[in-house]
């Protein structure tokens, strides 16, 4: 590796693909720029941020199954800003690592097949990452590819926490709680160690399109609101969060809904979108005056506060609540809505600090600290990719 080598990251989430460009500087990956493609938007565009500058560039390519057009055009646009000939590797975020992948790996055929085998456990996310992995192998075969897993950070959880109350034989077959958003939680754990070292027992709320909470003790995962699948836990943009399993039986049995219809309902038509009937985006709901919009937001904050209470029980106490990801970082109204419901627990918010998205948003008297921390999954993917490259 020369000092000017570049490393790219691809973070394929449920709604967007976030691309990162890093320079390799010895053992350190330095962020040079980031891009976001919203795969649902028409027309497609690549929003690219370099330093303090942001460019919005239209893409002519269509979203095809193989994604070749999107990748070719993205590389061509990045080449206007970066020396793409110096790219040596691409690190991917892969949502499900199952039991097999508990740390980052180089993507050879066996590892890629192993990731493919986990599609049934994350049908919304896993295929997206695999499409990018396969397309890059085809179009840029000289690039080393690595995978970092959302589930890996949670491997430290107790067997008891990972268990669903179903027959033991199913647990042994892998039907258990895994936990997700681990790359984000790993980044937040390192930020907390630096900026709030006294917050030993913390609940981190990753509130994006997908949303979950993690109970952390000294930076180690003890519990996560997402368990077996990315449907679990708190309501999200279009997913319901945990749901009485009797609802599924009723829909399938009494209402004769097909598996495909139920899957579509749970992954794409529930959550904030389903409850409001208006939008999946909290930005729209907070400015919409209709009562259904307000109710969706209120259900979101009620369920987050309830889950924080449950996590305090797992941790046996609570020193800090941390908000992160799109909603957590940018929406004071949601943070205040959650905090208000935790006043009884000793959490009080400073309105001015909250409105300014400050690092500490709790008051001096608050028994529990509240923080806002910007997450950076791409940095974790890059750091892990670099470790894999250096070990080769």
Ligand X SMILES: CC(=O)OP(=O)(O)O
Ligand Y SMILES: Nc1ncnc2c1ncn2[C@@H]1O[C@H](COP(=O)(O)OP(=O)(O)O)[C@@H](O)[C@H]1O
Residues known to be catalytic: 150
- CA 26 from chain centre, in angstroms, equals 28
Among 72, 261, 281, 319, binds ligand Y (CB under 6 A): 281
- Closest approach of ligand X to the CB of residue 6, in Å: 24
Burial state string for 229-239 with b = 16 or more CB within 10 A and e = fewer than 16: bbbbbbbbbbb
d(CA 24, CA 21): 10
- Closest approach of Mg ion to the CB of residue 255, in Å: 32
Query: Which span (29-37, 206-214, 255-263, 275-283) binds Mg ion, by CB under 5 A?
Result: 206-214
Restricted to residues 154-213, the positions that interact with ligand X (CB under 6 A) are 180-181, 208-210
For residue 40, the surrounding DSSP H or E stretch is none
181 binds, among ligand X, Mg ion, ligand Y, none (CB under 5 to 8 A by kind): ligand X
d(CA 82, CA 79): 5
Site string for ligand Y, 323-342 (x = CB under 6 A): --xxx--xx-----------
Residue-wise DSSP of 169-197: HHHHTT-S-----HHHHHHHHHHHHHH-T
Q: Residue 208, interface with Mg ion (CB under 5 A)?
A: yes
Question: Residue with the closest Cβ to ligand X?
Answer: 210
Q: Residue 354, interface with ligand Y (CB under 6 A)?
A: no
Q: Residue 15, interface with ligand Y (CB under 6 A)?
A: yes
Q: Residue 20, interface with ligand Y (CB under 6 A)?
A: no
Among 209, 212, 230, 366, binds ligand Y (CB under 6 A): 209
95 binds, among ligand X, Mg ion, ligand Y, none (CB under 5 to 8 A by kind): ligand X
d(CA 136, CA 132): 6
The answer to whether the CB of 134 falls within 8 A of the CB of 12 is no
Query: Which span (2-10, 308-316, 319-327, 365-373) binds ligand Y, by CB under 6 A?
Result: 319-327
The answer to whether the CB of 29 falls within 8 A of the CB of 386 is yes
d(CA 363, CA 348): 6
d(CA 274, CA 230): 17
Q: What tokens were used for 38?
A: 């919203």
Nearer to ligand Y, 34 or 341 (CB): 34
- Annotated binding-site ranges: 11, 18, 93, 206-210, 281-283, 326-330, 377
Nearer to ligand Y, 25 or 38 (CB): 38
Q: What angle do CA 162, 229, 202 make, to 5 degrees?
A: 55
- Closest approach of Mg ion to the CB of residue 210, in Å: 6
Q: What tokens were used for 163?
A: 């268990």
- Closest approach of ligand Y to the CB of residue 331, in Å: 5
Q: Residue 40, interface with ligand Y (CB under 6 A)?
A: no
Whole-Å CA distances, 345 to 220, 302, 314: 23, 14, 15
**3-state SS class at 391:** helix
Nearer to ligand Y, 15 or 112 (CB): 15
Counting Cα atoms < 13 Å in the Cβ hemisphere of 36 gives 11
d(CA 264, CA 261): 5
Among 95, 204, 231, 237, binds ligand Y (CB under 6 A): 237
- Annotated binding-site ranges for ATP: 18, 206-210, 281-283, 326-330
β-strand partners of 105? 147
- Closest approach of ligand X to the CB of residue 209, in Å: 5
- Annotated binding-site ranges for substrate: 93
Residues lying near ligand X in the complex (CB under 6 A) are found at: 13-14, 95, 125, 150, 180-181, 208-210, 230
Residues lying near ligand Y in the complex (CB under 6 A) are found at: 13-16, 208-210, 237, 281-283, 325-327, 330-331
């Amino acid at each position: 590796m020369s000092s000017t080598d570049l490393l790219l990251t691809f973070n394929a989430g449920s709604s967007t693909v976030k691309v990162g460009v890093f320079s390799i500087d010895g053992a350190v990956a330095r962020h040079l720029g980031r891009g976001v493609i919203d795969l649902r938007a028409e027309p497609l565009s690549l929003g690219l941020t370099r330093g303090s500058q942001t460019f919005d560039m239209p893409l002519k390519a269509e979203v095809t199954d193989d994604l070749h057009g999107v990748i070719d055009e993205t590389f061509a646009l990045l080449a206007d800003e970066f020396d793409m000939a110096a790219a040596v590797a691409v690190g991917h975020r892969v949502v499900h690592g199952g039991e097999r992948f508990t740390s980052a790996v180089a993507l050879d055929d066996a590892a890629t097949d192993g990731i493919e085998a986990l599609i049934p456990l994350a049908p919304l996310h896993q295929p997206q990452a695999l499409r990018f992995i396969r397309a890059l192998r085809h179009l840029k075969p000289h690039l080393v590819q690595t995978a970092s897993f959302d589930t890996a950070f949670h491997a430290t959880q107790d067997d008891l926490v990972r268990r669903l109350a179903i027959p033991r034989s199913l647990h042994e077959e892998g039907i258990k709680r895994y936990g997700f958003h681990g790359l984000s939680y790993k980044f937040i754990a390192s930020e907390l160690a630096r900026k709030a070292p006294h917050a030993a027992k913390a609940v981190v709320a990753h509130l994006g399109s997908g949303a979950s909470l993690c109970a952390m003790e000294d930076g180690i995962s003890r519990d996560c609101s997402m368990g077996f699948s990315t449907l679990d836990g708190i309501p999200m943009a279009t997913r319901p969060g945990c749901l009485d399993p009797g609802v599924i039986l009723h829909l399938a049995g009494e209402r004769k809904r097909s598996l495909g219809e139920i899957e579509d309902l749970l992954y794409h038509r529930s959550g904030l979108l389903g409850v409001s009937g208006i939008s999946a985006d909290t930005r729209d709901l907070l400015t919409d005056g209709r009562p259904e919009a307000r109710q969706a937001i209120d259900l979101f904050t009620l369920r987050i506060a309830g889950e924080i209470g449950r996590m305090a029980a797992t941790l046996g106490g609570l020193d800090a609540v941390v908000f992160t990801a799109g909603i957590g970082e940018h929406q004071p109204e949601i943070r205040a809505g959650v905090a208000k419901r935790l006043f009884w627990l000793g959490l009080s918010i400073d309105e001015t600090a909250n409105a300014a998205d400050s690092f500490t948003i709790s008051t001096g008297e608050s028994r529990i600290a509240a923080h806002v921390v910007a997450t950076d999954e791409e940095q974790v993917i890059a750091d892990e990719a670099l470790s894999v490259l250096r070990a080769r």
